[in-house]
Structure formats: C-alpha cells, structure tokens
C-alpha cells in the first residue's frame, strides 16, 4: 500500500501542471458547452415545426414585447409546436416574459425532448444535474439511439460516474467517454485521460492515460485559445 501511495504522489506531482490545463478551466468548459449546444438539431426542429409562420411572428416579438411573445409561444406550444415548447421551457427557466418557474420549465423541456429536440434534452439534463438527480440524468441523456450524439454521450458518462461506483457503471462511463471523444468532444478526451491517470479505470490503464494526456491537454489549450466560432 505504501509503495502504491508513493507512486500516486509522484504521479500527482508529475501531472500537477497538466491538471491545471487549460489555464482557465471555466472558459474552456463554457466554450465546450457552446460547442455541444451547436451540435443540437435546432435547424431541423425549426424547419419542421408544425406552425412555422406563427412561430416566426412570435419570435419577432421577443425583444420588443417579451410578455406578448411568451403568450403566443405558450399557445403554440400547447398546439404542438416543438420549437415553441423549447422556447416556453427556456422562458420559464429565465423568467423571460413570465415568472420563472422551474417546474413548468421542466414540463415543457421534457415534452420538447420527448419529441426529439436535442437542445431541450441538454437543458433538461442540466436541471437534473443541478439537483444531483443522476438517475434522471441517465434517463434523459440516454434518450434516442445510443452513441449517435456526443453531447448526450458525454453527460451520460458523467451521470454514471457521479453515482456509487460499480464495475458496470465504471465500464459504461469509460466506453461513453471514449465514444464522445471519438465524436470530437475535447473535454471527453481530457477527462478520460485524467481519470485513467488517476486509476479510476484500473491501474493497468494509467500508462495509457499518460500517453493520451498531453496531446489531449494540447488540444484543450488550443480550443480554449481559439477565436474561431464553435
């Protein structure tokens, strides 16, 4: 035990600089979140909305008369407009044009997510993460075909890691992080390598984590410093 603890201490020292990369983790995570939302199927949901002309008119009102816009969007959501369900849920989250109401936001985001809106899926999952309801997180992020969309795949991995560890959960989390990383999620690659180095997925994978860690850190720094839109 003492030998292993000494090794871990050496490893932490060697990896200390890496663990702080990128320098501003908050900026990196914010940019990664923007990237994930940019992967959502908003364009498809918008184009195929059941009453697009009415939605356009309601959207135009949002800046000048948010209350009137909310009333119209709420009515359209009740009539089956998926885009309006998303915006109604968002309005209840933020208080835009109405009184903030998390329960109502959850209701509308759940309806939109159930009809295939990935933006709503991410926002709903975020609600459950804040509540630390990781069982519900798993259900929401597991919606749709497994492994086809990296944002949900990444968050599903962390929902599993936040729960009491079991061999199956740990194995699933590793597989999901690897999948998200293969789909272009830089934070998934970074987290995967760090967790490997820390021995979360077994001691035999520590060398693998070390080999992956520095290239992952370099990509994270480049992504964080990039001025290109995500």
Verify that 89 and 202 share a domain, yes or no. Answer: no
Q: What's the 3-state SS for 178-194?
A: HHHHHCCCHHHHHHHHH
Enclosing domain of residue 195: 19-40+137-230
Please state, in angstroms and rounded to a whole number, the distance separating the CA atoms of residues 230 and 30. Answer: 11
Verify that 92 and 166 share a domain, yes or no. Answer: no
DSSP labels for 8-51?
Answer: HHHHHHHHHHHHT-SS-HHHHHHHHHHHHHHTS-HHHHHHT-TT
- pTM of the full predicted structure? 0.83
In a domain, 196, yes or no: yes
Verify that 220 and 202 share a domain, yes or no. Answer: yes
In a domain, 29, yes or no: yes
Other C-beta atoms closer than 10 Å to the C-beta of 184 total: 11
Alpha-carbon 132 to chain mean position: 14
Q: What pLDDT, in 10s, does the model give residues 143-189?
A: 865 556 889 999 999 999 999 999 999 999 999 999 999 999 999 99
In a domain, 25, yes or no: yes
Last residue of a domain, one of 116, 148, 167: 116
Please state, in angstroms and rounded to a whole number, the distance separating the CA atoms of residues 32 and 90. Answer: 20
Structural domain count of the chain: 2
Q: What pLDDT, in 10s, does the model give residues 107-147?
A: 999 999 999 999 999 999 999 999 999 999 999 999 865 55
Verify that 167 and 90 share a domain, yes or no. Answer: no
Verify that 198 and 87 share a domain, yes or no. Answer: no
Q: How would you classify residue 132: left for phi > 0, otherwise alpha for psi between -120 and 50, otherwise beta? A: left
């Amino acid at each position: 035990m003492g030998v292993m603890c000494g090794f871990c201490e050496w490893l932490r020292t060697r990896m200390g600089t890496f663990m702080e990369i990128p320098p501003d983790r908050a900026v990196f995570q914010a940019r990664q979140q923007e990237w994930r939302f940019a992967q959502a199927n908003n364009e498809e949901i918008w184009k195929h909305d059941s009453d697009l002309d009415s939605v356009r008119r309601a959207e135009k009102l949002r800046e000048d008369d948010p209350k009137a816009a909310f009333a119209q969007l709420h009515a359209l959501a009740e009539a089956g407009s998926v885009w309006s369900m998303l915006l109604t849920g968002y309005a209840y989250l933020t208080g835009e044009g109405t009184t903030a109401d998390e329960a109502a936001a959850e209701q509308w985001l759940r309806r939109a997510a159930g009809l295939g809106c990935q933006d709503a899926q991410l926002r709903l999952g975020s609600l459950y993460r804040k509540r630390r309801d990781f069982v519900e997180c798993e259900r929401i992020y597991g919606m749709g075909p497994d492994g086809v969309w990296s944002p949900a795949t990444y968050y599903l991995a962390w929902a599993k890691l936040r729960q009491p560890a079991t061999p199956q959960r740990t194995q699933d989390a590793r597989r999901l992080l690897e999948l998200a990383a293969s789909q272009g999620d830089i934070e998934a690659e970074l987290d995967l390598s760090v967790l490997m180095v820390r021995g979360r997925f077994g001691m035999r994978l520590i060398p693998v984590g070390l080999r992956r860690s520095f290239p992952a850190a370099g990509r994270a720094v480049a992504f964080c410093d990039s001025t290109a839109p995500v």
